[in-house]
Amino acid sequence: MGILEGKRLLVTGVLTDSSIAFSVAKLAQQEGAQIVLTGFGRLSLVERIAKRLPEPPPVLELDVTSTEHLDSLADRVGEHLGGLDGVVHAIGFAPQTALGGNFLNTSWEDVATAVQVSTYSFKSLAVAALPLMKEGGAIVGLDFDATKAWPVYDWMGVAKAGLESCSRYLARDLGKHGIRVNLVAAGPLRTMAAKSIPGFGEFEDSWPAKAPIGWDINDPIPAAKACVALLSDWFPATTGEIVHVDGGVHAIGA
Ligand SMILES: NC(=O)c1ccc[n+]([C@@H]2O[C@H](COP(=O)([O-])OP(=O)(O)OC[C@H]3O[C@@H](n4cnc5c(N)ncnc54)[C@H](O)[C@@H]3O)[C@@H](O)[C@H]2O)c1
């Protein structure tokens, strides 16, 4: 029996098969979960990618900046799963001007977009899913360590710092519903989101060398395993936590 046997999950953020969310969805199914995916924009692409999963799941449209999409989400997911035991938030976006060393010149409008899509949406998604989580459950988001100012990550770093804080407040407010809220802080992985960051190569070169146990930028499985573990019953007393899945880089100076 898998550690997610009987669990019903909503997994956001699948875009390609290198998406972290794709590996989470695949592992979750292998561990016994029933899942529904959401896709943003290029739905036919997401549907094609979904067919590569062990059991092709339904794909629902979700733009986390759309009140209409959020308001109807519980009903749309409910048609497929009835209820939810877990939600995965694997969503991030920042306009090009907010990345790559342009920190001092980024406009508020572009920062606002980054924060709405990458930070505030963690709360929006949690609230949208809440009516389906009557028996409690787990919400997991994807983080990039926001305790430091990194090269090129810029306003996305600020958005992730907000995500870390948002996760703690959600843990505070959803605890009474029996819902745990945690983040997985992954090291750099070669996905569409990562490739869109100008200068991302700097991370790719330095991270594996700094990591005490090494780091493979092409392997999202360690991060996906942590998500699956946090969605399972094996972290029953953990909430408001950030689990680092980065080869140990966060713990090392210089
Ligand atoms: N790749 C990395 O190095 C890395 C490291 C740590 C954390 N993360 C985080 O992991 C998460 C998943 O990213 P990924 O690296 O798998 O890249 P990805 O490009 O595969 O996924 C990003 C997802 O965000 C979705 N998205 C963007 N705007 C949206 C909107 N308005 N509404 C709904 N969805 C929207 C995209 O459709 C896409 O599916 C992000 O939060 C990212 O910041 C990535």
Q: Which tokens hold the place of 167?
A: 């996760």
Q: Is residue 204's pLDDT more than 90? A: no
pLDDT at 254: 66
Q: Is 8 helix (H, G, I), strand (E, B) or coil?
A: strand
Confidence band, pLDDT 50/70/90 cuts, at residue 42: confident
Tens-place pLDDT, residues 161-181:
999 999 999 999 999 999 999
**CB-side neighbour CA atoms (13 Å) of 143:** 32
Residue 74: alpha-carbon gap to chain centroid: 19
Is residue 227 lining ligand 1, measured as CB closer than 6 Å? no
What is the enclosing helix (H) or strand (E) of 61? strand 59-61
Strands 34-39 and 8-11, by their bridges, are parallel
Ligand 1 atom closest to residue 46's alpha carbon, by position in its atom list: 39
Number of the ligand 1 atom closest to the C-alpha atom of 141? 41
Our answer on whether the CB atom of 157 is closer than 6 Å to any ligand 1 atom is: no
Distance 37 CA to ligand 1 centre (A): 14
72-121 pLDDT, tens digit per residue, is 999 999 999 999 999 999 999 999 999 999 999 999 999 999 999 999 99
Query: Is the pTM for the entire model greater than 0.85?
Result: yes
* 166 CA to centre of ligand 1 in angstroms: 17
Name the DSSP class of 120.
I
CA of 193 to the centre of ligand 1 (A): 5
Nearest CA to ligand 1 atom 12: 90
Q: Determine the residue of 23, 70, 93, 227 to mutate for testing ligand 1's pocket, defined as the one with the most ligand atoms within 8 A of the Cβ atom.
A: 93
Residue from 15, 59, 73 whose mutation best tests the ligand 1 pocket (most atoms within 8 A of CB): 15
Locate the DSSP E strands across 99-239: 137-143, 179-186
Residues recognised as catalytic: 153, 160
Which of ligand 1's atoms lies nearest the C-alpha of 63? Answer: 32
